[in-house]
């Protein structure tokens, strides 16, 4: 039986290089997941507030009848429901209002004893806009203490913050992607350096650069892709574990958004080992051509 | 086949290793290149098998003027040359068979087409039972024979050997010389660098002698029978 294994020597002493690629791929996977989460959280925040109006009616002064607040709330609701563009208007119950302040005051009944303002939640018909200046004027006419909040200022600040978070996340992802590409390129060149004598011999025997490149590039691409796949898998498992924590209670932590990734998000992850393989392949080819061009 | 005109060679800014070298290797000739160690034999061979460019002078190879030939033509020129390197340059991870078959693979031949030829050639150099052995497990003489088999397997137009009998016993040395003669008889031009006087005297081939980088003596002999 004739031995007919490939010309390329077996990979030896490359474990540190593979480990380096795997670690970089892990970081790239974490950065990718974090970017996707940041993007989703920011979108959720914005969509949660857009199309909403809130009316706040201050509580009556001490010693005044509580009926005043109820009447003012009814009057405000009437104005809101008669306003073009408002789909729905609803006064929040005391329990709902207490839960809103519970992150600061706790779950006790303290909130119930406080003179909380009455909140009215109004939804704008999707695609329609409401003339808030005119609405404010009409509300003031019936309830002088009413405050209308269309969240414009908060939305503006939120847009700035979330934009910053998203771009920072993508910036970090880009930096790690560049570092990963550099690591794959470095590892490929180091592998090729170990076989420079072989490249020179094949060149002197009349092998075309493409022939020599073919020997190396697929093995190097495969090695880079496999190492990166290991790191990416570790990152994916991390996000699966974090997603599992959502279901056991982390979601209950105030303001902390759900940290798990959706199945669609995970579809981006194979891009990391595929890119690593492609970089390994291209680097191997360019390095072979560069090495051969220096020989004569 | 090979023409050198006023060829000089230096490595970097060092002294000239070859100076004003002029010679012609006719197609089908058999020539020894002799000289002491350090005389420049290996450097001259490197210029012929396109491992180094000359510092000055003109080299013509297979009717190509190398000064104006395109680099893209070099691989095809190199494939017409078989080289036995002084340090063998075998690939340790490949078997004897695969090392010898390497020039044929580079030329694009399929394994099925050359398997028998490679077996036969290895049998001829006395390595028929070592097809699967790896070079590190072979003796120096066996490695040299693998290197020779690799150099001749593609029936090159020009065979260059740098001290090809340096590590083999006289019987194998005679056998290798007979192989070179056989190839030469079928038209391969042979150039052997050696400082083995006995080898040179055993034939009446041409001899070129290098002394401190100069080609100082040319002996025109008969082609070996």
User: With helix as H, strand as E and coil as C, how does B79-107 read?
Assistant: HCEEEECCCCCCCCCCCHHHHHHHHHHHC
Q: What's residue B204's pLDDT?
A: 81
Same domain, A209 and A263: yes
Which of A152, A149, A169, A150 has its CA nearest to residue A41? A169
- The residue from A97, A120, A150 where one domain ends is A150
Out of A71-85, A173-187, B49-63, B138-152, pick the least confident: A173-187
Domain boundaries, position A81: 51-150
pLDDT 10s digits, A57-98: 988 766 555 667 888 899 999 999 999 888 899 998 888 887
Q: What's residue B196's pLDDT?
A: 82
Region B1-23: what's the mean pLDDT? Answer: 94
Same domain, A101 and A204: no
Tell me: pLDDT of B136 over 60: yes
Which of B132, B107, B48 has its CA nearest to residue A1? B132
Q: What's residue B224's pLDDT?
A: 47
Tell me: pLDDT of B53 over 70: yes
pLDDT 10s digits, A214-263: 888 888 888 889 999 999 999 999 999 888 776 555 555 555 566 778 88
Q: What residues of A are in contact with residue B91 (Cβ under 8 Å)?
A: 7, 9, 198, 201
- CB-count burial class (<10 Å; 0-12, 13-18, 19+) for A144: exposed
pLDDT band at B119 (very low <50, low <70, confident <90, very high): very high
Q: Are the C-beta atoms of residues A145 and A58 closer than 8 Å to each other? A: yes
Q: What residues of B are in contact with residue A202 (Cβ under 8 Å)?
A: 102, 106
Strands A86-91 and B206-211 turn out to be unpaired
Report the CATH number at residue A87: 3.30.70
Q: Is residue B225 part of a domain?
A: yes
Region B20-31: what's the mean pLDDT? Answer: 94
pLDDT 10s digits, B164-185: 887 777 777 887 888 899 889 9
ipTM, 2 dp: 0.91
- Count of domains in chain A? 2
Q: How far apart are CA B19 and CA B14, in angstroms?
A: 13
What are the backbone angles phi and psi of residue A199, rounded to the nearest 5°?
Answer: -60, -45
The conformation of residue A259, written as its DSSP 8-state character, comes to -
In degrees to the nearest 10, what's the CA dihedral of A131, A133, A134, A138?
130
Q: Is residue B7 part of a domain?
A: yes
- The segment with the largest mean pLDDT, out of A57-66, A161-170, A193-202, B84-93, is B84-93
Sheet holding B81-84, edge to edge: B81-84, B158-162, B189-193, B30-34, B206-211, B214-219
Same domain, B76 and B168: yes
Per-chain mean pLDDT for chain A: 82
CB contact under 8 A, A7 and B91: yes
Min Cα separation B106/chain A (Å): 6
Tell me: pLDDT of A149 over 90: no
Residues 73-92 of B with CB under 8 A from A: 75-81, 83, 89, 91-92
Tell me: pLDDT of B41 over 50: yes
Q: What residues of B are in contact with residue A5 (Cβ under 8 Å)?
A: 94, 98
Same domain, B70 and B160: yes
Produce one character per residue of B166-184: b if its CB has 16 or more CB atoms within 10 Å, e if not: bbbeeebbebbbebbbebb
Q: What's residue B120's pLDDT?
A: 93
pLDDT 10s digits, A233-245: 999 999 998 887 7
Q: What residues of B are in contact with residue A197 (Cβ under 8 Å)?
A: 89
Same domain, B21 and B130: no
Same domain, A283 and A178: yes
Per-chain mean pLDDT for chain B: 90
Same domain, B23 and B34: yes
The position carrying tokens 């025997």 is A205
CB contact under 8 A, B95 and A3: yes
Q: With an 8 Å Cβ cutoff, is A204 touching chain B?
A: yes
pLDDT 10s digits, A280-290: 888 888 888 88
- The token pair at A243 is 């997603």
Region B9-28: what's the mean pLDDT? Answer: 93
Domain boundaries, position B126: 91-154
Tell me: pLDDT of B225 over 70: no
CB contact under 8 A, B131 and A201: no
Q: What's residue A247's pLDDT?
A: 59
Is the backbone of residue A254 left (phi > 0), alpha (psi -120 to 50) or beta?
A: beta
If one counts every other C-beta atom within 10 angstroms of the C-beta of residue A248, the result is 8
A131 versus A9: the higher-pLDDT residue is A131
The position carrying tokens 């399929």 is B110
- Count of domains in chain B? 2
Q: What's residue B201's pLDDT?
A: 85
Same domain, A87 and A171: no
Q: What's residue A3's pLDDT?
A: 39
The position carrying tokens 């329609």 is A128
Q: Which of B79, B102, B111 sits opposite A4 (nearest CB)?
A: B111
Tell me: pLDDT of A48 over 70: no
Q: In sequence order, which residues have a C-beta less than 8 Å from that of residue A12 and are 6 or more positions away?
A: none
Same domain, B142 and B35: no
Same domain, A41 and A187: yes
Q: What's residue A219's pLDDT?
A: 82
Region B102-130: what's the mean pLDDT? Answer: 92
Q: What's residue A235's pLDDT?
A: 95
What are the backbone angles phi and psi of residue A54, rounded to the nearest 5°?
Answer: -125, 130
What's the angle, vertex CA A266, arms to CA A264 and CA A269, rounded to 5?
A: 130
Region A147-161: what's the mean pLDDT? Answer: 82
Q: In sequence order, which residues have a C-beta less than 8 Å from that of residue A182 and are 6 or more positions away?
A: none
Region B138-153: what's the mean pLDDT? Answer: 92
pLDDT band at B140 (very low <50, low <70, confident <90, very high): confident
């Amino acid at each position: 039986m004739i031995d007919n294994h490939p010309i390329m020597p077996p990979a030896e002493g490359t474990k540190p290089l593979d480990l380096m690629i795997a670690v970089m791929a892990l970081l790239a996977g974490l950065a990718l997941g974090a970017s996707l989460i940041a993007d989703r959280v920011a979108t959720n925040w914005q969509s949660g507030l857009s199309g909403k109006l809130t009316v706040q009616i201050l509580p009556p002064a001490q010693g005044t009848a509580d009926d005043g607040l109820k009447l003012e709330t009814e009057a405000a609701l009437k104005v809101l429901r008669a306003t073009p563009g408002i789909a729905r208007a609803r006064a929040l119950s005391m329990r709902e209002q207490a839960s809103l302040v519970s992150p600061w005051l706790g779950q006790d009944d303290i909130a119930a004893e406080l003179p909380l303002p009455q909140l009215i939640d109004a939804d704008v018909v999707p695609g329609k806009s409401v003339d808030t200046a005119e609405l404010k004027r009409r509300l003031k006419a019936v309830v002088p203490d009413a405050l209308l909040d269309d969240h414009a200022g908060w939305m503006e600040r939120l847009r700035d913050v979330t934009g910053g978070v998203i771009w920072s996340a993508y910036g970090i992802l880009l930096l790690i992607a560049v570092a990963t590409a550099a690591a794959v390129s470095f590892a490929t060149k180091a592998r090729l350096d170990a076989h420079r004598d072989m490249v020179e011999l094949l060149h002197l025997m009349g092998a075309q650069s493409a022939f020599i490149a073919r020997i190396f590039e697929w093995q190097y691409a495969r090695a880079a892709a496999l190492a990166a796949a290991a790191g990416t898998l570790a990152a994916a498992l991390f996000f699966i574990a974090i997603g599992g924590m959502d279901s056991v209670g982390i979601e209950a932590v105030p303001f902390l958004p759900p940290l798990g990734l959706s199945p669609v998000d995970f579809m981006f992850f194979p891009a990391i080992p595929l890119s690593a393989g492609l970089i390994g392949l291209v680097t191997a080819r360019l390095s072979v051509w560069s090495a051969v061009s220096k020989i004569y | 086949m090979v023409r050198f005109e006023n060829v000089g060679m230096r490595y970097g800014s060092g002294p000239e290793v070859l100076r004003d070298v002029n010679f012609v290797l006719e197609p089908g000739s058999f020539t020894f290149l002799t000289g002491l160690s350090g005389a420049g034999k290996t450097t001259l061979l490197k210029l012929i098998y396109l491992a180094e460019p000359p510092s000055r002078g003109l080299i013509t190879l297979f009717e190509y003027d190398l000064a104006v030939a395109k680099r893209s033509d070099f691989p095809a020129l190199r494939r017409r040359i078989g080289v036995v390197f002084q340090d063998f340059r075998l690939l340790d991870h490949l078997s004897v068979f695969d090392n010898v078959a390497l020039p044929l693979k580079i030329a694009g031949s399929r394994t099925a087409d050359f398997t028998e030829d490679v077996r036969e050639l290895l049998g001829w150099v006395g390595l028929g039972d070592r097809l699967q052995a790896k070079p590190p497990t072979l003796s120096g003489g066996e490695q040299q024979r693998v290197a020779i088999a690799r150099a001749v397997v593609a029936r090159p137009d020009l065979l260059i050997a740098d001290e090809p009998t340096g590590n083999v016993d006289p019987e194998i040395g005679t056998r290798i010389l007979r192989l070179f003669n056989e190839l030469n008889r079928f038209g391969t031009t042979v150039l052997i660098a050696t400082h083995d006087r006995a080898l040179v005297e055993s034939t009446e081939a041409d001899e070129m002698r290098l002394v401190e980088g100069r080609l100082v003596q040319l002996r025109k002999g008969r082609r070996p029978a």
